[in-house]
Structures are given as C-alpha cells and as structure tokens.
Amino acid sequence: MRRSNHESGYMLVGVLLAITVVAIVGTSLVTLSVNAVKTSSSERDNQAVYYIAEAGLTYLENEFEKAVSEIYDSDDIKTEEAFFKQVEKLDFVPERYDTFERVQDFQPFAELEVEKIADEKAAYKLISTGNLDGENRRVSHIIQVGWNDKYEEVASGEYQLPPFAVFTSGQFTMSNGTINGDIGTISEKVNAINFPSGGPTLIGDIYVPYGHRDFVNQSANEGNSEIKKINEDFKMPQLPIFPDIPDYYCPDDVTISTSPSNKYNVIKNCNLRVDNWIVRDSNYKLDMNENMKFNEIKFDSNYKLEIDVKDQNRIIVVNHLNMQNGHMELGGSGNLTIFVKDKITFGSGSTINNLGDISRLNLYYKGLNRLELAGSQKIYGSLFAERANLHLTGSGGIYGNIFTGGEEMKMAGGSDIQAQIILAPNAKVTMLAGGAIKGKIMSKEFNNSGGANVTLKEPFIINGPISPSALGSSGENGGSGATSGPGASDIIETGASPSLTKGKVREESK
C-alpha cells in the first residue's frame, strides 16, 4: 500500500527527533563523564595537598623538638628559669619542606610557620600550608613546652670535709715557708708530698693513702713530721653549680648636683659612674630599692660610694666591675650579691666593703679574664670565680671564702687571705715570695717556694652560698677525723628531657 506524502513527512520528523534526543543524551553523558573526571581529579589533588600539609607539620614538629632539646641539653642550662629564658629566644623556623615527588612540572611543598601564643608560657602554634599547583590546605596544632628537672639531690651518706691546712688531689711541693697544721693528699704517686730542698717548716702531720712512706719525701722538712694513713672516705669536694645570672632592668638616669651650675649624671645609659668630684661632694649614695643591672660600674679618683641595701637582700648584675681607683661601701643591714658577667678590674688601692661584715657580701665572677689584686686592693666578702684564675700580689687581700674553677691561683709579696675555705679543685695553688693564708686550702696541686705561711684556723663562720655549708660540711677536727654536714647530698643528672604536650591537628580556613 502506497503511503501518502503526509505519512512520509511525519516519519522523517520522528527520525530527526530521535537522532536529536540521542545526540543530546550522548552529549550530556559525555559532559557528565568529563565533569566526573574533573571532580575526581580535583578531589584527589585536594586530598593530596592535605597530606602535603600534614607531612610538613610532622617535619616542623620534629625540628622544633630538636631545637628545644638542644637548649635543654646545653651544659649552661641547669635550671627551669634558664631553660625557659632560652626557649623564649628561640628563633628557628624551617620556612619550607619540599621533599616530595614532582607532579608533572610542579614541585609540591609545604610552607612552615611557628607562632608564639601570647599570654601563655612556652606555648607555640605550629602551622603548615600545603601547596600543589595552586591548591592549598592549611593545618596546625598547639605545642606546650615543659621543664623536667635535669638534676636532683640524692643522699650521699656522711660527707666529710678533709680537716687539713692544705689538702690536694695531686702533687704537694714545699721548699720554703711555714705550714701550721696537718697536710694531706689522696694522690698515690711516689713523692706526692715533697719537701725537696730549702728550709720548709711543717708544724703538723702528713696524711697519705695507706700511710705509705713512698708517697712522701721530707728530707728537707725540719723535724720530719709523722706520716699517717689518710681517711679513705676523704675526697676533693666539687664546686657547687655556678648560679644562673639573673636579668634586671637598668635604672633610670640620675643627675646629681652641688649647685645649679654643677651637675653630673652619676647613672647614665645603664652605667654607674663614681668618677667625678660632684659624686663625692653631693654625698650621693645608691639606694637599692630594687635589684639592678649595669653595663659598667666605674670608680676613679679614690672616690667612695655607699650602696644602701636597706634591710633587704639585693642583687647587682654588671658586665664590667671597674675599680680603677675607689671604694665600694655596703650600707644598710641586708646582704648584697654582685654578679660580674665579663670583667673585674682593680687598680690603685681600691676596696670593696672595706673592713665591713664579710657575711653580707657575695661576689660571683663569670668572666674568663684573670682576677688580680695588688697593692692595697681588698675584698671583704666571699668570691666565686667560675673559671677565672686568681693572682694576689703586694698587699692585696681577700677576707672571705673563695671558690674558683680556674686552673691557677698565685700569691706573692705581702698578699693576705683569710677564709674558712679556699676551694680550687682544678687549680695549682702557688705561693711565691711571701703571702699568708689563714684557713684551709683544697686544691689540685700546691707549691710553696717562697716564705709564705699557711695557718689552719677558722677565722670566721659563714653559712652562705660560698661556704663549707654549701658543700654539706662544716667545722674542724684533728688530723684523721672530720665533721660532717647534716643532709649531705650529691647532685646527679636525672637523664630527663623536656616535655612537649601536643594538641590535636586542626585544619584552618584559607
């Protein structure tokens, strides 16, 4: 049967509509498929950049922990205060971490940041921003730094302070002079106690390990002292840990005057200057209503300055204590501690706390330059030199206890020391051409080749931080005995490490 033209037209239209529908559906499917691929690729990149950021954060955390541990492990860090002071100064940030495989022509990387959290002690925000060809994600977490004690005191039993005029861990040699009191050594070398020649005088006994005579040569010792066995428990005391030097504010500038036309800045730019006649004529004194620090304290022209601590215990920290020519006097009833960071200079007949109460002054010297006292230069107070050598000549003198970690201590001329104890466990103490010590010397080595005198006695009793009580011992006994301080202890390392408390990893908005 023959179709009409109208029917053929309708069929053609239907076919065209079907083709159009198929084309539209096909195009839509292709579009959907392409979009799905793009979405999948974008999601993959987005996830990958998160992993990059996370890896950077892990790296930053490890580097931060290393930096904090290096501070903690430093020999200079002994206390919590010193540790946090250095952590606050921590200025380390590895800015970039990019140990990733390249993606086509792009090198993925993470940008790293460390932010100090205000108003919180040693709390930091570690931040890592991952970057992959323009795609970024940012993660962070909080880390809190904590302190664990590096050292602890453990009971060491009954600690005995050797009761000798001179006690050494090494060689003792004496060819002149006089020692009034017993002497001893823990050295087991032949002739560890040696009187080789000259005219030395020992008024006392000699104590050596096992009472062994081979350890003693006293051919030149008049009277040939009795050789006895030293107490096996005796050992060379170790110095206490040198204290951390605190930090304070410089005082404001101070102008003094004797008239409207005669003015002088006694304190200027963190320097205390006692080197002008106006300081003398104005009767200026330094009122210490708080602890202070200075770059330099300078005395000149034989001027005096009273430092009035009132009834408080005060501290001065100074880089250079420059006593060219002058006198520092201590007023009030409290105590004064002076920390010298770099240098002590003595000249002319300068004095510190001249004829004052020695128990009220403690002088700590951290510098490496040799400390020299000559002429009539004198210190009335106790001295702790962390590593500096000490020389006294002329009529220089120290009236107070002496702790020194230096390797050399020399006395000559009419120099004079009066102390409960001179503790120099690393030093060779040499007395040349005179000099006198009243007290007790404990050193690595001792050599008296001049006309110097050592007399075992306790000219005063101090129980402060530079004294036998700081070693866990006090007092005197005869040759083979000793007294022991209650609560004696040893300082040992705990093997601890700093603590790092970590918060949860969080993603931050871009």
**What digits encode the pLDDT tens for the residues 363-395?**
999 999 999 998 889 999 999 999 999 999 888
- Average the pLDDT over 212-238 and give the result: 87
- Using an 8 Å Cβ cutoff, are 205 and 479 in contact? yes
Q: Write down the mean pLDDT value for the chain.
A: 84
pLDDT at 490: 55
Could you report how far apart the first and last alpha carbons of the chain are, in Å? 75
pTM above 0.85, yes or no: no
Q: What gap in Å lies between CA 237 and CA 359, rounded to an integer?
A: 22
- Average the pLDDT over 239-246 and give the result: 91
pLDDT at 166: 95
- The pLDDT tens digits of the residues spanning 186-204 come to 999 999 999 988 788 899 9
Name the H helices within 132-269.
none
For the chain, the domains span 5-152+499-508
Confidence of residue 445 (pLDDT cuts 50, 70, 90): very high
- The pLDDT tens digits of the residues spanning 331-340 come to 999 999 999 9
- The pLDDT tens digits of the residues spanning 174-186 come to 988 899 999 999 9
The distance between the two most distant Cα atoms of the chain, rounded to a whole number of Å, is 159
Counted residue by residue, the chain has a size of 510
pLDDT of 474 strictly over 80 = no
Residue 353: which of 418, 298, 409, 398 has the closest Cα?
398
Q: Report DSSP letters for 13-69, one per residue.
A: HHHHHHHHHHHHHHHHHHHHHHHHHHHHHHHHHHHHHHHHHHHHHHHHHHHHHHHHH
pLDDT of 76 strictly over 90 = no
Q: For residue 37, give both structure tokens.
A: 């691929």
Q: How many CB atoms lie within 10 A of CB 210?
A: 11
- Using an 8 Å Cβ cutoff, are 141 and 504 in contact? yes
- The pLDDT tens digits of the residues spanning 117-174 come to 887 788 899 899 989 878 889 999 899 998 888 776 554 544 567 889 999 999 999 9
